[in-house]
Structure 1
Amino acid sequence: MNDWNNWLDEYYAKFKPAFDPAVYANLVAFRDLAVDVRERKAKLIFAGNGASASISSHGRVDFTKQGKVRSLDFNEPNLITAFSNDYGYENWVARALEAFADEGDVCVFISVSGTSPNIVKAAEYAKSNGLQVVTFTGKSLDNPLKALGDINFWMDSSAYNVVEAVHMMWLTTVVDMLIGKAEYSVS
């Protein structure tokens, strides 16, 4: 038992950077941007790979349902496979943006490494087309996705599960900030 207690103490210490008050400014900035998107009737567009795709889907639903900010993600298998087949995997998210993004939309890209070619190329497309970009990354501070963001959430960890859990926490924190409280009915 003692060995696991020490292990758990060390494990949960990895989450400490997520609660640094330096993150608060980004949380407020993203909340304000989401309010602006909602008021302009634009939309948030979420994308990621693997677990980051799942976090994207969860974020999209919560921002739409609870936060009342129109949102979408690109996690439809038919879309992924058709666009990947026709345009190459590294280009499919950028091509989906080309098809679905409107002026004034904001892209939310999630990638632990910040080096996923399809997500980085999507961020490059977004920036070159005047779309704002919010990034959620980890691992290296100097990752290419973070370099393209207008608002950047970076978790100082190389532990995928830690970074992914923190990304989810930060996203849902912003949803709760839109509502103004942490406990509320979701029905």
Structure 2
Amino acid sequence: MDPIEYLKKNLALSIQAKQQLLMDEACLRLFERAVMAVVDSYKQGGRIYIAGNGGSAADAQHLAAEFVSKLARERAALPAEALTVDSSILTAIGNDYGYDLVFARQVAGKATAKDVFLGITTSGQSPNILKALEQCRSVAVPSIVFCGRDGGKVKLMADHAIIAPGDTTSTIQELHIVLAHTLCECVEAAMFGE
């Protein structure tokens, strides 16, 4: 095991995936539409609800914090909530309805048509994200997913599916963070001026 070679390999994979995304005009346009969905939500007095599993749950919390606190500039707070943090809600829904519904049930109880849902799933196959997207459709909540690989089933369910290139979970998750930070930066600029 050579740590330097591992690092070089991972940096090269990360750079390659980022360059691939940079050149994917269709994906860039999808991202632009996703940004506008969030901006429209905020202009209507809505909020963003964010969900994911494992590392993507941490990313959901990270992004919610960026919206509520700030990314890089002083501004008013923007309402955002990670659906991954309330242990009583998560365990009650998991116990009473099953883990597949932990996010869908929260969307049903919290979200309105002026809000937006963002699901984060590296595989694009997470059952609880799929159920949340079904719930979004049933109550007309706009939906976005950050996913990876071929987009999985979520790409067919979400209004805006941003597929991060890359073959490894770690590379896809790195791109999800770039997408999340850029989403927040764009929303800040749209809501509070350049």
TM-score (normalizing by structure 2) = 0.83
Deviation at 1:28, TM superposition (A): 2.3
Give the equivalent residue in structure 2 for 1:61: 65
Aligned counterpart for 1:79 among listed residues 74, 89, 109: 89
* Contact map agreement 1:15 1:162 (CA 8 A) in 2: no
Select between 118-127 and 19-28 the one with higher mean Cα deviation.
19-28
Aligned counterpart for 2:19 among listed residues 16, 20, 31: 16
Give the equivalent residue in structure 2 for 1:179: 188
Change (3 A) 1:94 1:16: same
State the distance in 2 between where 1:175 and 1:9 align. Answer: 25
Aligned-partner residue type, residue 18 of structure 1: L
Change (3 A) 1:86 1:16: same
| Number of residue equivalences | 179
* Contact map agreement 2:31 2:160 (CA 8 A) in 1: no
Give the equivalent residue in structure 1 for 2:170: 161
* Contact map agreement 1:47 1:74 (CA 8 A) in 2: yes
RMSD, aligned α-carbons: 2.2
Change (3 A) 1:9 1:106: closer
Deviation at 1:85, TM superposition (A): 0.7
Q: Structure 2 unaligned runs (5+)?
A: none
* Contact map agreement 1:138 1:155 (CA 8 A) in 2: yes
Correspondence 1:85-164 to 2 at 5 A: 85-141=95-151, 143-164=152-173
Q: Structure 1: which 4+ aligned runs deviate by more than 6 Å?
A: none
* Partner SS state of residue 119, structure 2: strand
State the distance in 2 between where 1:6 and 1:148 align. Answer: 37
Select between 59-68 and 163-172 the one with higher mean Cα deviation.
59-68
Deviation at 1:91, TM superposition (A): 1.4
Identity of aligned residues (%): 22
State the distance in 2 between where 1:133 and 1:104 align. Answer: 11
Deviation at 1:156, TM superposition (A): 2.3
* Partner SS state of residue 14, structure 1: helix
Deviations 1:138-173 (A, max 9, x none): 0224x1111111111101223001101101110101
Aligned counterpart for 1:50 among listed residues 48, 51, 54: 54
Aligned-partner residue type, residue 17 of structure 1: Q
State the distance in 1 between where 2:34 and 2:112 align. Answer: 19
* Contact map agreement 1:113 1:139 (CA 8 A) in 2: yes
Alignment of 1:29 with 2:29, yes or no, is no
* Contact map agreement 2:52 2:60 (CA 8 A) in 1: yes
TM-score (normalizing by structure 1) = 0.86
Aligned-partner residue type, residue 123 of structure 1: L
* Contact map agreement 1:80 1:92 (CA 8 A) in 2: yes
Select between 22-31 and 106-115 the one with higher mean Cα deviation.
22-31
* Contact map agreement 1:135 1:151 (CA 8 A) in 2: yes
Q: Structure 1 unaligned runs (5+)?
A: 182-187
Aligned-partner residue type, residue 108 of structure 1: L
